[in-house]
């Protein structure tokens, strides 16, 4: 009998739980290590592989954190480090799936006509306020820069 156990240790038919796409839904791959089989066969080698992946991912994430206040694509580099970790660690794969789902939801929400209309109205109002403030400044002080204005 070909059966697997789920998280509650109940015996389940794999065909009943896995979708027809081979156990992976949509763009999602199976969770777990993506190390080559030759590395997975030897425990010490696999542990060394995991340490190496963790250290490289940590270096990339640290570089991304440094780039947040400095010039550079900080968040992009941080997600790149998470992607490196996701090649080996299930927790990183789950974080990336959650992040991808939230970004997709936000993109769909931003494309909603009501939200787009609201954002356009708020942007227009903001631009009008800035134009009025610039107009008042130019009317009162002329085209002089703020640091050149005498009291």
> CA 134, 140, 144, 148: dihedral to nearest 10 degrees?
-120
pLDDT of residue 70: 87
Give the per-residue pLDDT at 35.
67
DSSP secondary structure, 49-113, as one string: HHHHHHHHHHHHHHHHHHHTTSSS-HHHHHHHHHHHHHTT-HHHHHHHHHHHHHHHHHHHHHTSH
Which tens digit of pLDDT belongs to each residue from 75-97? 889 989 988 998 888 888 898 88
Residues in the chain predicted with pLDDT less than 50, given as ranges, are 1-2, 4-24
Residue ranges of domains in the chain: 28-110, 112-142+147-151
**pLDDT for res 127:** 97
Q: What are the structure tokens assigned to 69, written together?
A: 């206040």
């Amino acid at each position: 009998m070909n059966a697997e156990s789920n998280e509650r240790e109940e015996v389940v038919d794999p065909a009943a739980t896995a979708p027809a796409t081979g156990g992976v839904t949509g763009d999602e791959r199976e969770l777990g290590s993506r190390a080559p089989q030759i590395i997975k066969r030897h425990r010490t080698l696999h542990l060394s592989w995991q340490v190496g992946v963790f250290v490289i991912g940590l270096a990339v994430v640290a570089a991304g954190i440094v780039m947040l206040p400095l010039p550079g694509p900080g968040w992009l580099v941080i997600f790149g480090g998470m992607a490196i970790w996701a090649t080996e660690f299930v927790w990183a794969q789950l974080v990336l799936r959650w992040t991808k789902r939230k970004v997709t939801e936000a993109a769909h929400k931003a494309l909603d006509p009501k939200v787009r209309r609201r954002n356009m109205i708020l942007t227009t109002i903001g631009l009008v306020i800035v134009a009025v403030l610039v107009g008042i400044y130019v009317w009162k002080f002329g085209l002089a820069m703020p640091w050149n204005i005498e009291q």
